[in-house]
Amino acid sequence: MIIGSGPAAWAAAIYASRANLHPLVIEGAITEENRCKGTLPLGQLALTTEVENYPGYAAGKLDAYLDSAIDGDRRKYMPPHAGHGISGPELMELMRQQAVNFGTEVLTDDVTEVNFRRHPFELHCLGGRRIESHSVIVATGARANYLGLPSEDTFKNRGVSACAVCDGALPRFRNKPLVVIGGGDSAMEEATYLSKFASTVHLVHRREAFRASKIMADRVLANPKIQVKWNSEVDEVLGNDQHGVTGVRLRNTKDQAKHEELSASGYFAAIGHTPNTDFLQGQLELTDKRYIKWTTAARTYTSIEGVFAAGDVADDYYRQAITAAGSGCMAALDAERWLAAKGFH
Ligand code: NAP
């Protein structure tokens, strides 16, 4: 069983199905709750636009390939290809299709509860199904934290992002003022990265001191393109249908009455990620930030033998599609070898 439906899950499924392990991918349920949390099937990549850094997709027109590769029933719901390298949703549909082509079965449901204290392991789904499995790969990813403003939702993918590395180089952000929210290392990294493209980066932080490491904070403070807005919170993301994000309205956290508007064509939330581990309910060892703990260096082993973890659910550091896919492959190989050693395959 593979739980999740991002690059880690599909890479694991491709390897597991080609090894005749007959994987079932439990890809997540299509619910309003998952939509609001950013945890619908196909994961975080399905919420991004262009993917320019996944090897193998140089810019070009992929229409004919997408038409021929992806099942017609799903293809007809995909927006037209925009003519750049590849989009996040397209990449995920291709990975899913590739796994299905090799015999992977897919269940569109959420796993709500697991029992890893017995073997075969037991999974319970939102739709009521109970599933047993000799080995499980958990690849449920993480979700970016946003402030939770309705205006953030309105402009997601139209200037609102939580990933500078994914989106920062897009034309809409080039030579324009941008806003980054947060005061940790992620915010420092995002602001520094975006300063290569933006005319100005406004770094908005709610306190008057950064949480970030000194070296990264010093780099930001020395960067002439980054202006820090201390003691400030975003009250609303401003924009319109034609241009997407056009700015933000800030509220001063010391004097709540004081407001300021900034022009910006992009808004990047860098206030942390939350791993999707709630359903594990104490069954696997987690880190203090609630990511699954890999227990052995360079392996995808978890604290329970036969349960493997791949992708962002176990990685708060790299968080890239290519690294998630790589660890998904590793988890499938680890599972295959474990099953063979135990005589299950
Ligand atoms: P983080 O350290 O938890 O920082 C989150 C920041 O967002 C904090 O400054 C926090 O403000 C702010 N924040 C949280 N909720 C907010 C809200 N509702 N409104 C406004 N601001 C809010 O998270 P992170 O920066 O993603 O870093 C996570 C971990 O990854 C850290 O251990 C970090 O060192 C590591 N990391 C390392 C690197 C690197 O070394 N290259 C890069 C990225 C991340 P307060 O400070 O006021 O709480």
216-227 pLDDT, tens digit per residue, is 999 999 999 999
Residue nearest to atom 3 of ligand 1 (CA): 272
- Count of positions (residues) in the chain: 345
Pocket around ligand 1 at a 6 A CB cut-off: 147, 181-187, 189, 206-207, 211, 271-272, 316
Predicted confidence at residue 68, as pLDDT, reads 96
CA distances from 319 to 73, 120, 125, 327, 343 (A): 31, 31, 27, 11, 34
Confidence of residue 79 (pLDDT cuts 50, 70, 90): confident
Confidence of residue 164 (pLDDT cuts 50, 70, 90): confident
Considering only CA atoms, which of 92, 44, 41, 43 is closest in space to residue 69?
A: 92
Sheet strands (E) in the chain: 2-3, 24-26, 105-107, 111-115, 121-125, 130-133, 136-138, 142-144, 160-161, 177-181, 200-204, 226-229, 232-240, 244-252, 259-263, 266-269, 273-275, 307-309
Q: How far apart are CA 89 and CA 48, in angstroms?
A: 7
- pTM for the complete prediction? 0.81
**Annotated catalytic, 125?**
no
Stretch among 155-169, 178-192, 214-228, 240-254 having the lowest mean pLDDT:
155-169
Q: How far apart are CA 246 and CA 73, in angstroms?
A: 37
Considering only CA atoms, which of 146, 141, 139, 142 is closest in space to residue 162?
A: 146
Of all residues in the chain, what percent carry a pLDDT higher than 70? Answer: 99
Predicted confidence at residue 235, as pLDDT, reads 95
**CA-233 nearest atom, ligand 1:** 20
Which residues on neighbouring strands pair with residue 136, listed in sequence order?
Answer: 307
Confidence of residue 170 (pLDDT cuts 50, 70, 90): confident
Q: Residue 61 pLDDT more than 90?
A: no
Contact 283, 297 (CB under 8 A): no
CA distances from 2 to 6, 276, 324 (A): 11, 14, 14
Which residues on neighbouring strands pair with residue 220, listed in sequence order?
Answer: none
- Better-predicted residue by pLDDT, 123 or 157: 123
- Better-predicted residue by pLDDT, 22 or 186: 22
Token pair 């402009």 is at which residue? 155
**Annotated catalytic, 167?**
yes
Q: Residue 60 pLDDT more than 90?
A: no
Residue nearest to atom 18 of ligand 1 (CA): 147
Q: Residue 206 pLDDT more than 90?
A: yes
Q: How far apart are CA 42 and CA 142, in angstroms?
A: 12
> Ligand 1 pocket: which of 231, 267, 271, 290 to mutate (most atoms <8 Å of CB)?
271
Backbone angles phi and psi of 126, in degrees to 5: -55, -40
Residue nearest to atom 32 of ligand 1 (CA): 185
As a whole number, the mean pLDDT across the chain is: 94
